[in-house]
């Protein structure tokens, strides 16, 4: 475990020396905590729902998601719920670029050979790289989520909105599925990084990793996917298995010899 | 590989594998057998669930339990994927089962043409049944058959792998290597036979062959054992060639997915005998598998080539001496068809500075990478700093330091942080003390806080040397330490290596700078894929050129050369301008006689000295295979 942290700390020392990278990690979560709060603030006094009468079908459909929330409470809940999906996805989106550079970057700077010459196992190396990429994104997202939660508690039409929003379903999503998604994303990116010989290829291919995750997000927005506690629990369980499998395959696909002898 | 079977572990493994699975079978028998097994979920009986999970996974569980019980550890699990250079075996694992299954079905239908149904009656009847239940299928039978086959070939291998892994991780990844000491053929066949026998209770409960055949259940059990012996040979060969159990998992999953496909082409009214076919578990349906297995067995052990080349090598010292810091025997590395290092033997004692010389592409860096456990040798063995290569790689890495061909430091972080990072990875106890010591020793302490990106090439090289020394390694490998440095930086690095030499460190050095090698190395290996020569620089010169004395004259008389050639101990006489170059053994003893002879002939000798051939001459002669002109 110690060596995993040594790798992670070195990565942070190197990557976050660039303020812009630090900014990029913090920026997205903060902006996604600010936007819903601004929206909430701007519609906080909005109570006349008659304008929405022509969308009665839509409102009827929405009521099944809102439970006992009515009127503006339901409207606020539906708007804020979309951002909850973003908080779930951010830990997977933010670290992909850093992770995709992790191995191929070592190769291009000729540091990989001395690194592999040390008594470190492939699993330790890859875990260190993955943690270095995932942890800042998870922490930044959770801080931003904390800001969002506090802001929502103050600005929502009633405490019921916050109670409904921060239900076990979304707590499991944000604190459970989000980090697991992040590990899956960075594991894939690190795996790709160890299989290509150009950082640009690594970044391009790693971006594709996010497509299935984005599909869930789009599905939620368009109502094709309805998340409930059971489905979220199943997703969490599935990602535990997926993460374990990805970490295993990442170590298996990391071919020291090929990387050292065939990459030029 | 050991020559005897580990009987204890084999028996424990078989106890677990058969114990778990046959206990499940007993439960199924007592609860009504497979055919009448109660439904667990709609469409899934208790028997189906138990066979697909616990029964099929019992060999894998037996592998794990046996390793735990016997404290065998987790080496040689055959789990690593080993894709590199072995992709064809993965492809074969996927493509062979469909090919063999279809050919087998074809053979069966050739023998029993009346059973062949090109109109897909079976599928039509299935469609009609669905329609009668109010679930019409909107596709033609031909399309549905195609979909079924595509699914069997493309999707089934993935899904079925979940279950076949349970079998293969036991049979091919554990039992087979344990039985191979019996011999390649016997080992593979025995594994297949045991695997077949393991199916016996299921066959007795009607799985695969049903109940309605002559000789029930013994003929069915025999049929299954023949099938598993044939497929076992193929799966075993895939495992050995793929160096991983996964190709066998895929092949097994593919055949499980496809096995029933022949039913789609069989007329429902045909009275078939499953012991014959058309499925591959029948003798006719499985004939291509049997023929392939026989062919593979006839070809013999695919590992034999490597063994033969090792066994026909000249006899070597079998073990390192007490003084050996590096001992290599038959060290070989090939990349595909390219042989990079061929049968290298080395014995480097503690405290020696050893030079590895050779042209570009000679295999010097590959040798260093093998000896530092960065890459795996294709053949041969080595012990470095007391650790056997391949068995104790992480311990070995702890005891060696390496200066790689390109220094490779993290440009964005400081020199001090760079070294501290590597010191932590090497488990150095006094990290700050060691970092300071080497930064001061190499004159970099004053710039310790600056990012390495601001350093000159020479400074980076010095920092990389410091990195290689931080953990006080027993052996230091320096791969071209002065390459690309200016003369001043080169001199500093050379002086530092001299200092390390005086400390009694064992150093292996590769360089193209022959003067550097001459000055620093106790012994030199001239190397181009294989060893061309190995000795001290002085001895190499003597071996190739002998020792030569140069006589300078006021005026050279041909009689002088003739007189020298008359001497029995003189090996060669050359005339260059007013000089005679006389090659002889033991000049200290013979020179007075030669001088007396020349003076007696009236020679006016101006000067007498020994001619020293440069190491470059020696090197070029060895590498090019011809003598270099002597500069006098």
Burial B18-36 (b: 16+ CB within 10 A, else e): bebbbebbeebeeeeebee
Q: In this predicted model, what pLDDT tens digit does every residue of A171-217 receive, in sequence order?
A: 888 898 889 988 888 888 888 888 777 777 777 776 676 676 667 65
Residues B504 and B565 in one domain: no
Residues B100 and B220 in one domain: yes
Q: Which residue has the tokens 């039978």?
A: B141
Does residue A141 contact residue A147 with C-beta atoms inside 8 Å? no
Q: Which residues on chain B place their C-beta less than 8 Å from a C-beta of chain A?
A: 79-81, 83-84, 335, 366, 369, 372-376, 394-395, 397-398, 400, 402, 404, 406-413, 417, 421-422, 424-427, 464, 467
Final residue of a domain: which of B300, B316, B336?
B300
Sign of CA dihedral B14, B15, B21, B22: positive
d(CA B364, CA B479): 8
Q: Report the number of distinct structural domains present in chain A.
A: 1
Q: How much is the average pLDDT of B75-88? A: 82
Q: How much is the average pLDDT of A6-28? A: 80
Q: At B545, is the pLDDT very low, low, confident or very high (cuts 50, 70, 90)?
A: low
Residues B209 and B162 in one domain: yes
Residue A1: the pLDDT is 77
**Residue B376 within any structural domain of the chain:** yes
Residues B466 and B340 in one domain: yes
**Residue B432 within any structural domain of the chain:** no
Q: Do B81 and A253 make contact, defined as CB atoms within 8 angstroms? A: yes
Q: Do B375 and A115 make contact, defined as CB atoms within 8 angstroms? A: no
Q: Which residue has the tokens 């629990």?
A: A233
Measured CA angle at B181 (ends B180, B187), to 5 deg: 35
3-class DSSP assignment, residue B43 = coil
Taking CA–CA distances from B417, the nearest residue in chain A reads: A10
d(CA B160, CA B605): 93
B384 neighbourhood in chain A, CB within 8 Å: none
Please give the structure tokens belonging to residue B490. 């080169």
Q: In this predicted model, what pLDDT tens digit does every residue of B6-28 receive, in sequence order?
A: 889 999 999 999 999 999 999 88
Residue B173: the pLDDT is 95
d(CA B344, CA B365): 13
Evaluate if residue B63 carries a pLDDT over 90. Answer: yes
Q: How much is the average pLDDT of B96-101? A: 92
How many A/B residue pairs have CB atoms within 8 Å?
A: 85
Residue A175 DSSP symbol: I
Taking CA–CA distances from A248, the nearest residue in chain B reads: B80
Q: Report the number of distinct structural domains present in chain B.
A: 3
B62: nearest Cα among B198, B160, B187: B198
Strand B353-357 and strand B506-510: the pairing is: parallel
B28: nearest Cα among B56, B55, B47, B54: B47
Residues B335 and B484 in one domain: yes
Q: In this predicted model, what pLDDT tens digit does every residue of A42-95 receive, in sequence order?
A: 776 665 555 555 555 555 556 666 777 777 777 778 778 778 878 888 888 888
**Residue B433 within any structural domain of the chain:** no
Please give the structure tokens belonging to residue B113. 């043409």
Q: Do B374 and A260 make contact, defined as CB atoms within 8 angstroms? A: yes
Residue B37 DSSP symbol: P
Query: Within its chain, how far is the Cα of A77 from the centroid?
Result: 21
Q: Do B84 and A117 make contact, defined as CB atoms within 8 angstroms? A: no
**Residue B24 within any structural domain of the chain:** no
Residues B489 and B585 in one domain: no
How far, CA to CA in Å, does A170 sit from each of A80, A177, A257, B256?
12, 9, 44, 42
A128: nearest Cα among A245, A1, A255, A254: A1
**Residue B311 within any structural domain of the chain:** no
d(CA A108, CA A99): 15
Measured CA angle at B547 (ends B576, B600), to 5 deg: 60
Residue B358: give the domain boundaries: 324-407+457-535
Lowest mean pLDDT: which of A30-39, B55-64, B185-194? A30-39
Contacts of B218 (CB under 8 A, 6+ apart): none
A13 neighbourhood in chain B, CB within 8 Å: 412-413, 417
Final residue of a domain: which of B535, B557, B574?
B535
For residue B607, what are the β-bridge partners? Answer: B552
Q: At B220, is the pLDDT very low, low, confident or very high (cuts 50, 70, 90)?
A: very high
- The CATH number covering residue B359 comes to 3.40.50.300
Residues B490 and B575 in one domain: no
Residues B248 and B384 in one domain: no
Q: How much is the average pLDDT of B311-320? A: 47
Taking CA–CA distances from A3, the nearest residue in chain B reads: B425
**Residue B451 within any structural domain of the chain:** no
% of chain B with per-residue pLDDT over 70: 92
B84 neighbourhood in chain A, CB within 8 Å: 255, 257-258
Q: At B31, is the pLDDT very low, low, confident or very high (cuts 50, 70, 90)?
A: confident
Residue A253 touches partner B, C-beta closer than 8 Å = yes
The helix or strand, by DSSP H or E, that contains position B523, with its residue range, turns out to be strand B523-528
Residue A145: give the domain boundaries: 2-262
Residue A245 touches partner B, C-beta closer than 8 Å = no
A6 neighbourhood in chain B, CB within 8 Å: 421, 424-425
Smallest Cβ–Cβ distance between A119 and the set B375, B398, B408 belongs to B398
d(CA B611, CA B582): 9
B618: nearest Cα among B511, B528, B538, B548: B538
Residue B201: the pLDDT is 93
Q: How much is the average pLDDT of B47-66? A: 90
d(CA B528, CA A133): 44
Contacts of A178 (CB under 8 A, 6+ apart): A87, A88, A89, A90, A91, A92, A138, A141
Q: At B144, is the pLDDT very low, low, confident or very high (cuts 50, 70, 90)?
A: confident
Per the prediction, chain B carries an average pLDDT of 84
Evaluate if residue B470 carries a pLDDT over 80. Answer: yes
């Amino acid at each position: 475990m110690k060596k995993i942290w040594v790798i992670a700390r070195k990565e942070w020392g190197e990557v976050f020396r660039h303020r812009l990278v630090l900014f990029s990690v913090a920026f997205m979560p903060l902006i996604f905590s600010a936007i819903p709060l601004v929206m909430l603030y701007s519609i906080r006094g909005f109570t006349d729902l008659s304008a929405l009468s022509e969308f009665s079908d839509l409102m009827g459909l929405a009521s099944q998601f809102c439970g006992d929330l009515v009127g503006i409470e339901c409207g606020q809940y539906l708007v804020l719920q979309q951002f909850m999906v973003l908080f779930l996805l951010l830990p997977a989106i933010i670290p992909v670029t850093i992770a995709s550079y992790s191995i191929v970057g070592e190769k291009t700077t000729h540091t990989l050979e001395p690194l592999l010459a040390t008594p470190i196992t492939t699993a330790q190396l890859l875990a260190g790289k993955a943690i270095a990429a995932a942890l800042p994104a998870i922490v930044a997202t959770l801080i931003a989520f904390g800001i969002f939660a506090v802001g929502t508690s103050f600005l929502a039409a009633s405490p019921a909105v916050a109670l409904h929003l921060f239900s076990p379903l979304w707590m499991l999503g944000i604190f459970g599925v989000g980090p697991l998604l992040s590990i899956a994303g960075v594991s894939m990116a690190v795996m790709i990084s160890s299989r290509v010989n150009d950082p640009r290829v690594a970044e391009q291919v790693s971006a594709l990793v996010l497509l299935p995750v984005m599909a869930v997000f789009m599905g939620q927005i368009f109502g094709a996917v309805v998340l409930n506690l059971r489905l979220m629990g199943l997703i969490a369980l599935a990602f535990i298995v997926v993460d374990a499998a990805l970490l295993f395959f990442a170590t298996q696909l990391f071919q020291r010899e090929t990387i050292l002898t065939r990459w030029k | 590989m050991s020559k005897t079977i580990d009987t204890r572990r084999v028996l424990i493994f078989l106890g677990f594998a058969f114990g778990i699975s046959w206990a499940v079978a007993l439960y199924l028998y007592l609860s009504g057998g497979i055919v009448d097994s109660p439904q667990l979920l709609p469409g899934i009986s208790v028997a189906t669930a138990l066979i697909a999970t616990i029964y099929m996974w019992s060999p894998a569980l037996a592998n794990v339990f046996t390793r735990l019980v016997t404290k065998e550890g987790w080496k040689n699990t055959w789990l690593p994927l080993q894709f590199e250079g072995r992709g064809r075996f993965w492809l074969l694992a996927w493509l062979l089962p469909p090919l063999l299954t279809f050919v087998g079905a074809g053979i069966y239908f050739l023998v029993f043409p009346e059973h062949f149904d090109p109109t897909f009656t079976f599928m039509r009847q299935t469609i009609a049944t669905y329609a009668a239940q109010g679930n019409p299928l909107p596709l033609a039978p031909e399309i549905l058959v195609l979909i079924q086959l595509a699914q069997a070939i493309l999707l089934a291998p993935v899904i079925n792998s979940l279950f076949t892994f349970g079998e293969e991780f036991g049979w091919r990844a554990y039992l087979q290597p344990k039985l191979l000491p019996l011999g390649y053929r016997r080992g593979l066949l025995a594994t297949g036979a045991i695997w077949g026998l393991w199916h016996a209770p299921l066959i007795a409960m009607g799985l695969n062959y049903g109940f309605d055949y002559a000789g029930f259940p013994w003929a069915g059990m025999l049929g299954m054992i023949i099938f598993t012996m044939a497929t076992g040979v193929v799966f075993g060969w895939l495992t050995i060639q793929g160096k991983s159990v996964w190709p066998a998992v895929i092949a097994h999953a593919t055949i499980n997915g496809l096995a029933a496909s022949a039913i789609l082409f069989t007329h429902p009214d045909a009275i078939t005998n499953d012991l014959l076919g058309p499925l591959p578990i029948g003798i006719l349906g499985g004939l291509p598998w049997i023929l392939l297995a026989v062919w593979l067995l006839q070809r013999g052990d695919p590992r034999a080539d490597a063994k033969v080349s090792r066994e026909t090598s000249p006899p070597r010292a079998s073990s390192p001496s007490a003084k050996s810091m590096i001992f290599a025997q038959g060290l070989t590395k090939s990349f595909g068809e390219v042989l990079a290092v061929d049968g290298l033997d080395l014995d480097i004692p503690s405290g020696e500075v050893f030079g590895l010389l050779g042209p570009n592409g000679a295999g010097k860096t590959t040798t260093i990478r093998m000896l530092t456990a960065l890459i795996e040798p294709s053949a041969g063995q080595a012990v470095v700093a007391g650790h056997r290569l391949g068995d104790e790689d992480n311990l070995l890495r702890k005891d060696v330091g390496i200066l790689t061909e390109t220094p490779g430091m993290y440009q964005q972080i400081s020199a001090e942080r760079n070294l501290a990072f590597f010191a932590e990875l090497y488990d150095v106890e006094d990290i700050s003390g060691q970092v300071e010591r080497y930064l001061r020793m190499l004159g970099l302490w004053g710039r310790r806080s600056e990012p390495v990106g601001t350093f000159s090439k020479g400074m980076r090289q010095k920092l990389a040397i410091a990195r290689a020394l931080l953990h006080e390694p027993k052996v230091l490998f320096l791969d071209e330490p002065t390459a690309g440095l200016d003369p001043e930086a080169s001199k500093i690095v050379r002086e530092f290596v001299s200092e390390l030499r005086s400390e009694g460190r064992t150093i292996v050095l590769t360089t193209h700078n022959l003067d550097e090698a001459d000055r620093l190395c106790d012994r030199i290996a001239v190397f181009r894929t294989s060893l061309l020569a190995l000795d001290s620089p002085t001895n190499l010169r003597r071996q190739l050129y002998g020792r030569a004395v140069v006589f300078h004259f006021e005026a050279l008389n041909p009689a002088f050369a003739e007189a020298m050639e008359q001497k029995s101990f003189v090996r060669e006489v050359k005339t260059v301008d007013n000089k005679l170059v006389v090659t002889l053994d033991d000049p200290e003893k013979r020179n007075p006689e030669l001088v007396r002879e020349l003076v007696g002939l009236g020679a006016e000798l101006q000067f007498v000295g020994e001619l020293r051939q440069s190491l470059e001459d020696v090197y070029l002669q060895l590498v090019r295979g011809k003598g270099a002109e002597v500069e006098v």
